[in-house]
A = this chain, B = another copy of it.
Amino acid sequence: MKGRHAALDQLRHWRVAAPKGRLIYDEGEPPTAFYRVEAGCVRLQVNCDDGHRQILAFCLPGDIFGVEFDGGRTAAAEASVTSELTRFPICGLTGTSLEAKSMASLVAAASDMVLTLSLHLKGLGHGSAEDRLMWFLDWLADRQGVSRQGGVVQPPMNRRDIADFLGLAQETLSRTFARLEIQRLLSVTDRRRVILRPRPKPTTSDRLFQRAA
């Protein structure tokens, strides 16, 4: 997956630093560039009018975000932690002359985002708080290249971000961590590292049993 979007390097681009909390672009703003995360973590979020916010996606190293050329920005992008980005300005990118490979990469990048959001919707739709958190940690384990069974993950973002990502209240998230720890599905160490415990693979009979219980 590394270097998947290498064809983009033909486009004009440069490095930018984004300190923790920095707004990369805001919702509704006309797009002037798209980005690739080199290090750190960027959150894409929409702010509801009731003061709540929904985080649509976390972008980790290698991820492309902000591929939208017309209309205003769908969501705001902010650095969850101090991050390194590559900025690809879209001068007259929508014009004619553009390497086909680069265009293909853009389609791929947009498709990746669709995949990401789809998985997110799947996680949020049904599923308890425990399901959501385990789903998030599994996702993180995959991205950080550690095993889902016994691996150690370190969420780069704080708990408020995670809660807003999962559509939960912060308190609920905290309680859910505690409950999963009691169930020995994980343990939280210092510096908010999380050890994923091996779990019995859910079989059909397990599921039937759980539904009955």
Contacts and interface: CB of A to CB of B under 8 A. Distances in A.
A46 B107 contact: no
A10 B126 CA distance: 41
A183 interface: no
A190 interface: no
Interface stretch (A18-26, A35-43, A96-104, A191-199): A96-104
A115 B72 CA distance: 10
Nearest to A95: B100
A117 interface: yes
Interface string A82-96: 000000000000101
A154 interface: no
A53 to B, nearest CB: 9
A117 B122 contact: no
A118 interface: yes
A107 to B, nearest CB: 5
Given A100-B96, A107-B67, A126-B167, A114 B115 contact: no
Given A110-B114, A113-B114, A122 B68 contact: no
A114 B69 CA distance: 12
B207 A121 contact: no
Nearest to A103: B103
Contacts of A56: 118, 121-122
24 contacts: A48-B122, A48-B125, A48-B126, A48-B127, A49-B207, A50-B207, A50-B211, A52-B126, A54-B121, A54-B122, A56-B121, A69-B108, A74-B119, A97-B100, A98-B103, A100-B100, A100-B103, A103-B103, A106-B107, A110-B111, A110-B113, A110-B114, A113-B114, A117-B117
Interface of A: 46, 48-50, 52, 54, 56, 67-71, 74-75, 94, 96-98, 100-101, 103-104, 106-108, 110-111, 113-115, 117-122, 124-127, 164, 167, 202, 207, 211
